[in-house]
Amino acid sequence: MPLNVATIVNGLLPILALFFVHWQASVFFQTFFLHRYGAHKQFTMSKGWERFFHLCTYMTQGSSFLSPRGYAILHRMHHAYSDTPKDPHSPTNHTNVLTLMLKTKKTYDDYAYDRVQPEPRFLGGYPEWPALDRLGQNWIMRFAWIGLYTAFYVHFATAWWMYLFLPAHFIMGPIHGAIVNWCGHKYGYRNFQNGDDSKNTLVFDFLTAGELFQNNHHKFSMSANFAARWFEVDPAYIFIRIFAKLGIVKLGPQTIRWEPGDAEAEPAGGE
């Protein structure tokens, strides 16, 4: 007998709520802690707050936790070799997003698990909490998180198709990375000529909390604000400004500067 609408809604609402919260919380701490703080040090904070946000990053990323060391090395390589053959995750080196994700995973694992030594210039300056990072990258704990997500769905799902959302929870961090690395260097518009393929994909980046302002970020990599023009909105920077007002973080000196002459003669939304 078909499920009635009320039964479907009662199952779907908590699942959509979990998906929304997990997506937004995971991508926020990826951009705020791993990227802007860990890889770039666009702002500073006390050791106590660093540990707090490190823990938040683990709790929100769960089974797809990315260590600050692995993330920082990979991302610094990306900036140094943007869209060249040595870029660890550029769409110019791949025919599809799946091969990009697999290559990124292999390179990340090499550095996160200390299998390969990077160039010395890419080392240091990132948050380190060895006990938590070992826990986060332990496969027993990764499967424990997967079990937790699955249990939630088993409890609330009222139709088989609701389980189609479930696998995304398992690899939430890599999904965010793939969206940014693929779309941010393939689709959108440019404010600056950076000598690479970086683009701004969205004018209000509700999807990845500001990460899709790749063109702006590649021009001013030490600016905590990824939005450059009046119509661009970087959601993560709003929270960073609040944290700065509260004394939780101290912003660095660099700010994005845009002048009309900086833009290429290319319409917004063009590839």
pLDDT in tens, 122-152: 999 999 999 999 999 999 999 999 999 999 9
Mean pLDDT of 56-61: 97
pLDDT of 269 above 50:
no
Q: What are phi and psi of 105, to 5 degrees?
A: -60, -45
For a pLDDT cut of 90, what percent of the chain falls above it? 85
Q: Name residue, tokens 């080392």.
A: 123
Mean pLDDT of 93-114: 91
- As given in the structure block, the two tokens for residue 257 are 């500067």
Q: What sign has the CA pseudo-torsion 180, 183, 184, 188?
A: negative
pLDDT of 1 above 70:
no
For the chain, how far is it from start to end, CA to CA, in angstroms? 48
Residue-wise pLDDT for 166-201, tens only, equals 999 999 999 999 999 999 999 999 999 989 999 999
Please give the angle made by the CA atoms of 213, 169 and 37, to the nearest 5 degrees: 40
The DSSP secondary-structure symbol of 32 reads I
Residue-wise pLDDT for 233-265, tens only, equals 999 999 999 999 999 999 988 777 767 666 654
What pLDDT is stored for residue 35 in this prediction? 97
Return the domain boundaries, the chain.
5-262
Mean pLDDT of 60-67: 96
What pLDDT is stored for residue 262 in this prediction? 65
Q: What is the distance between the alpha carbons of residues 124 and 26, in angstroms, rounded to a whole number?
A: 24
